[in-house]
Amino acid sequence: MRAAMTDVTPELLAQRKRAAASPRRATIADLAPVSRTLARAFATDPVVDWFVRDDSQRDRAMKTWFDFAVTKLGLPGGETWMSEDAATVALWIPPPQDAMQLSFVDEIAAIPTFLSVVSFARLGRMQRLRAAFDANHPKAPHWYLFFLAVDPDCQGQGLGSAILKATLEKVDAQKQAAYLEASSEKNVTLYLRHGFEVTTEFKPEPAGPTLWPMWRKPQT
């Protein structure tokens, strides 16, 4: 367990910020800590909470989902970034986001994984969520921020902003746009500070969670 906020010394906080501000690319060898940080950070996320199964298998389902996201969607693009201690993770998918569109064969192969994540009871939710994401995803070339995560023990220390700024510099160096879907108003505020703008909002279904698509123009 990492030190709680009340135990954070100025030296430890400075060390964490340096690590977040100087991230490195994750590799398959980093799967376990990266997936763990994502699962812990998104444990109470409104969208993840809505579609991931809500039973005794939930913890395993969270691990399975983020293992899949990292290995099948993040690592192939080479733009999954982490602080050295893995307390902070930014999973970007560079254009053209081919990895997001599973082939028919891959879709069939992924069915057992998806069912283990959502259960039969919430399979429809996942399908409606994917359809809503696809319908709102911009067609113009861009970098897609799939996940930005900070371990709960390290939140509130500016680490998310630090890794976001560091990775956006790589996007800006290529003079390309960036896109994400924020899942809470708190996250909207964070991304606004880094140049993103809300373009609309949507729900996968009337009773589902709200998402805020956000676009950041190429920086010149």
pLDDT digits (tens, 9 = 90+) for 155-165: 999 999 999 99
Q: How many CA atoms lie within 13 A of 210 on its CB side?
A: 10
Residue 2 has a pLDDT of: 46
pLDDT tens for 130-155 read: 999 999 999 999 999 999 999 999 99
pLDDT at 57 over 60: yes
Average pLDDT of every residue of the chain: 94
Residue 103 has a pLDDT of: 84
> Which amino acid appears at position 191 of this protein?
Y
Phi, psi (deg, nearest 5) at residue 150: -130, 130
Residue 102 has a pLDDT of: 81
Burial degree of 16 (CB within 10 A; 0-12, 13-18, 19+): buried
Long-range contact set of residues 181-184: C-beta below 8 Å, sequence gap at least 24: 181/133, 181/136, 181/211, 181/212, 181/213, 181/214, 182/211, 182/212, 182/214, 183/45, 183/46, 183/47, 183/48, 183/209, 183/211, 183/212, 184/45, 184/46
pLDDT at 80 over 80: yes
Question: In the chain, where are the structural domains located?
Answer: 5-216
Q: Mean per-residue pLDDT for 169-193?
A: 97
Peptide bond into 94 cis (omega under 30): no
Helix, strand or coil, per DSSP, at residue 9: coil
pLDDT tens for 2-50 read: 444 447 789 999 999 999 999 999 999 999 999 999 999 999 999 999 9
Burial degree of 19 (CB within 10 A; 0-12, 13-18, 19+): buried
pLDDT at 1 over 60: no
pLDDT at 75 over 90: yes
Architecture of domain 5-216: 3-Layer(aba) Sandwich (3.40)
- pLDDT over 70, % of the chain: 97
pLDDT at 74 over 90: yes
Q: Pairing mode, if any, of strands 178-182 and 212-216?
A: antiparallel
CB–CB of 211/183 below 8 Å?
A: yes
DSSP letter at 140 equals S
